[in-house]
Amino acid sequence: MSAAVLSQARRIVVKVGSSLVTNEGRGLDRAAVTAWAEQIAHLRGLGREVVLVSSGAVAEGVARLGWSRRPHHMHKLQAAAAVGQMGLAQAYESAFAAHQIRTAQVLLTHEDLAHRQRYLNARSTLFTLLQLGVVPIVNENDTVSTDEIRFGDNDTLGALVTNLIEADVLVILTDQRGLYREDPRRNPNAEFVHEATAGDPELEAMAGGAGSAIGTGGMYTKILAAKRAAGSGAHTIIASGREPELLRRLAQGEAIGTTLYARLPGWSARKQWLLDHIRLRGHVVLDDGAVRALVQEGKSLLPIGVVDVFGDFERGDVVACRDAAGNEWARGLINYSASDTRRILRQPSHRIGDILGTANEPELMHRDNLAVLRTA
């Protein structure tokens, strides 16, 4: 089955890690950039649409500025990103121009995808670029992002873009062969995982932490990215970017790396947007009856089923729904602020107006604005 994933895909997101783009932090690896441009051009020749998510701006900036290591100070990181982004964009533009393909630089922050209108604008822009035959080069906008709003790694960004454009496959190119059941650096005989299901809890237990001094992501972030991409029905391939002609061979049906399959069909665009919120404004704690009503019966969330409120959210914010044990079951757009929710929790809907003086909605969250994350 894995051999057919990319060969049958119509729209593909390719994510390239920092260590691959910058030759382990020593500056842009133009030979590698040229090779990926050639392979993506080949995919385009087969009628595929491709979006490239590329790390490397900060690492390239560090090299251009002559620094010996990646800085920790946010403003220096932003400065390095600003310097490095110029070289990164130029390298890709030149590499694709050799194949008569135009590129576009698309810089995103978490806020762009957390705000509904900006999410739709980014989606429309990417679709338009693809229709025009342009290859979008996407990166996080490190020059303006802060600790509070950064994606944290481009594996997550790759998954969000996959969901944003409803791609069929996310290909994560890394400096490792794929996923092992144990760390191969510690156990040379560790079993390699050829296929698995995205979102399987066992996968997260297998993966370690960040494994590179250049990038911020490790295999764990790739596992979580595959889980997120699966929400929109996309499969994920994790493979070594140093494998010769990797994309071309995958397109021919060759099984390379680890393939993580999406278990379920994709969510609607609105519910996918809800699920893609990495940082939420708060959460409400539900009793067992409310959890059952949301998860098993597909009902709206009423204030009578809420037992506690955490966070300082406003009407219209995205808020998580958790049980008493802390398990998140759903998330959605809330109809009342945190202070108002605290006043009406455990109360029947017909009492909202009496308590608050006005009743915007009878539901705390309407089912059309809810996305359920798991089944009971």
Give the pLDDT score at 345.
Answer: 97
Using the predicted structure, report yes or no on whether residue 293 has a pLDDT greater than 80: yes
Pair (320, 225) in one structural domain: no
Indicate if 89 and 15 belong to the same structural domain: yes
- Region 82-110: mean pLDDT is 94
Confidence of residue 1 (pLDDT cuts 50, 70, 90): very low
**pLDDT interval class at 212 (50, 70, 90):** very low
Residue 347 has a pLDDT of 96
Domain that holds residue 181: 2-272
Looking at residue 130, which CATH number applies to its domain?
3.40.1160.10
The CATH number of whichever domain residue 353 belongs to comes to 2.30.130.10
**Residues 247, 296 share a domain:** no
Give the mean pLDDT of 103-114. Answer: 87
In angstroms, how far apart are the furthest CA atoms of the chain? 69
Domain boundary among 272, 306, 325: 272
pLDDT: is 299 or 24 the higher one?
299
Q: Indicate if 213 and 249 belong to the same structural domain.
A: yes
| For residue 118, pLDDT beyond 50 | yes
For the cut 60, the answer to whether the pLDDT of residue 76 exceeds it is: yes
Residues 237, 335 within the same domain: no
User: Are 144 and 240 within one domain?
Assistant: yes
Q: Residue range 276-299: average pLDDT? A: 91
Residue whose C-alpha is closest to residue 173's, from 189, 188, 158: 158
For residue 356, report the phi and psi dihedrals to the nearest 5 degrees: -95, -15
Structure tokens at 330: 């759903």
pLDDT per position as a tens digit, 167-184:
999 999 998 899 988 877
331 lies in the same domain as 192: no
Q: What is the pLDDT of residue 217?
A: 46
- Contacts of 241-249 with C-beta under 8 Å, sequence gap 24+, read 241/16, 241/17, 241/20, 241/32, 241/36, 241/173, 241/174, 241/175, 242/20, 242/175, 245/39, 246/39, 246/173, 247/6, 247/14, 247/36, 247/39, 247/40, 247/42, 247/43, 247/171, 248/39, 248/42, 248/43
Task: Give tens-digit pLDDT for 300-317.
Answer: 999 999 999 999 998 888
Same domain, 235 and 265: yes
| Among 142-146, 227-231, 315-319, 348-352, the least confident range | 142-146
Q: How far is CA 156 from CA 67, 134, 152, 362, in A?
A: 27, 23, 8, 36
Contacting residues for 131 by C-beta, under 8 A, at least 6 apart: none
Q: DSSP characters for 64-105?
A: HTT-SS---SHHHHHHHHHHHHHHHHHHHHHHHHTTT--EEE
Q: Are 133 and 266 in a shared domain?
A: yes
Each residue of 12-51: b (16+ CB within 10 Å) or e? bbbbbbbbbbbbebebbbeebbbbbbbbbbbbbeeebbbb
Top pLDDT among 240 and 114 is at 240
Determine the pLDDT at residue 210: 43
For β-strands 328-333 and 318-322, DSSP reports them as: antiparallel
Same domain, 72 and 124: yes
**Greater model confidence, 63 or 99:** 99
Residue 76: other Cβ atoms inside 10 A: 16
Domain end position, chosen among 272, 299, 327: 272
User: Which of 20-24, 61-65, 108-112, 285-289 has the highest mean predicted lDDT (pLDDT)?
Assistant: 285-289
Q: What is the mean pLDDT of the chain?
A: 87
pLDDT for res 51 = 98
Lowest mean pLDDT among 93-97, 329-333, 369-373: 369-373
End-of-domain residue from the set 218, 245, 272: 272
What pLDDT is stored for residue 148 in this prediction? 42
- Domains in the chain: how many in total? 2
Please indicate whether residue 203 or residue 352 has the higher confidence score (pLDDT). 352
In a shared domain, residues 234 and 339: no
Does residue 259 sit in the same domain as residue 315?
Answer: no
The more confidently predicted of residues 144 and 171 is 171
For 71-96, what is the mean pLDDT?
A: 91
- pLDDT computed for residue 267 by the predictor: 66
Residue 208 has pLDDT above 60, yes or no: no
**Greater model confidence, 167 or 376:** 167
